[in-house]
Amino acid sequence: MEKNINITLKIWRQAGPKEKGKFETYKLENISTDSSFLEMLDVLNEKLVRERKEPIAFDHDCREGICGMCGLYINGHPHGLDGETTTCQLHMRRFNDGDTITIEPWRSTGFPVIKDLIVNRGAFDKIIQAGGYVSVNTGGIPDGNAIPIPRHKAEEAMDAASCIGCGACVAACKNGSAMLFVAAKVSQFALLPQGQVERVARAKAMVSKMDELGFGNCTNTGACEAECPKAISISHIARLNREYLKAKFKD
């Protein structure tokens, strides 16, 4: 049932990429447990604006868990403690009256802070640009049913393709590795007939771009899988490793 709670927030404030950041403490009263986490931040921002202070900068957009724009490190977990949940889907009913909630941006070499809780995830786009596609131009394509695809393969590819590119995997990883993100894309195409032609080149290009952009290595701790809001399995990392090894043997 809906009720109202009082909470204390410790939020990372940082004016710019090169500025020094620090935690600020805010108190909020009468927050409805039916409101979402981001709606709670809206309430805080509305209050800050009323007090003629600068509101907290945070990324968000669709607020239904699919665009991948939101991403806050809440009480030590990317997207908070709920499983399979993005920050925007987290609701205040998961918190208790009197709780102190710590909110930080993603912290990773690959994702420099822009302002407050907003980071630059442009590196993910660069990794996709390096090979996360099937090289087909528009037009002149055979019928969609020309190549049957076994249902379980299509489903597994869909599991991988569910990645929303939020970066929680990187934020969760003690090495700051982007392996789960890269693996999800490589795996999606490796499972489908359309991805076969560029299979070898893709794995190599995407992994080397990831390394170049300052993401760490994978040491199989599995934190990424545990924190992924879309429950992307680390079995895709195993597939990426196989793809990468095969590619290297071909060199």
Partner 1 sequence: MTKKQVTSQTEAPIIDAKIPEGHLAEKWTNYKANQKLVNPANKRRLDIIVVGTGLAGASAAASLAELGFNVLNFCIQDSPRRAHSIAAQGGINAAKNYQNDGDSVYRLFYDTLKGGDYRAREANVYRLAEVSNSIIDQCVAQGVPFAREYGGLLDNRSFGGAQVSRTFYARGQTGQQLLLGAYSALSRQVGKGTVKLYTRHEMLDVVIIDGRARGIIARNLVTGKIERFSAHAVVVGSGGYGNAFFLSTNAMSCNGSAAIQMYKKGAFFANPAFAQIHPTCIPVHGEFQSKLTLMSESLRNDGRIWVPKKKEDAEAIRQGKLKPTDLKEEDRDYFLERRYPAFGNLVPRDVASRASKERCDAGYGVGNTGLAVYLDFEDSIKRLGEDVVRARYGNLFQMYEKIVDDNPYKTPMMIYPAIHYTMGGIWVDYELQTTVKGLFCIGEANFSDHGANRLGASALMQGLADGYFILPYTIQNYLADQIRVPRFSTELPEFDEAENQISEKIKRIMAVQGKRSVDSIHRELGLVMWDFVGMGRNKAGLEHALERIQKIRKEFWSNVFVPGKAEDMNNELEKALRVADFIEIGELMARDALLREESCGGHFREEYQTEEGEALRNDEKFAFASCWKFNGEGEEPTLFKEMLEYEFVKRQQRNYKA
Min dist. Cβ of residue 75 to partner 1 (A): 18
How far is it, in rounded angstroms, from Cα 112 to Cα 116? Answer: 11
With contacts defined by CB under 8 A, name the span among 72-80, 97-105, 111-119, 217-225 that binds partner 1.
111-119
Contact pick of 10, 75, 161, 225 for partner 1 (by CB under 8 A): 161
Residues 6+ apart with CB under 8 A from 133: none
Q: Is residue 213 close enough to count as binding partner 1 by CB under 8 A? A: no
Reported as half-sphere exposure (CB side, CA atoms, 13 A), residue 87 has a value of: 30
Q: Is residue 50 close enough to count as binding partner 1 by CB under 8 A? A: yes
Residue whose CB is less far from partner 1, 162 or 221: 162
Q: Is residue 233 close enough to count as binding partner 1 by CB under 8 A? A: no
Contact pick of 20, 22, 76, 143 for partner 1 (by CB under 8 A): 143
Both tokens of 109, joined, read 């070499």
- Burial of 174 by CB count in 10 Å (0-12 exposed, 13-18 middle, 19+ buried)? exposed
Q: Is residue 5 close enough to count as binding partner 1 by CB under 8 A? A: no
Reported as half-sphere exposure (CB side, CA atoms, 13 A), residue 64 has a value of: 1
Scanning residues 76 to 95, which ones bind partner 1 (CB under 8 A)? 84-85, 89, 91, 93
Residue whose CB is less far from partner 1, 47 or 242: 47
Q: Is residue 122 close enough to count as binding partner 1 by CB under 8 A? A: yes
Q: Is residue 235 close enough to count as binding partner 1 by CB under 8 A? A: no
Residues 6+ apart with CB under 8 A from 204: 131, 244, 247, 248
At residue 125, the 3 state secondary structure works out as helix
Scanning residues 185 to 204, which ones bind partner 1 (CB under 8 A)? 188-189, 192, 194-195
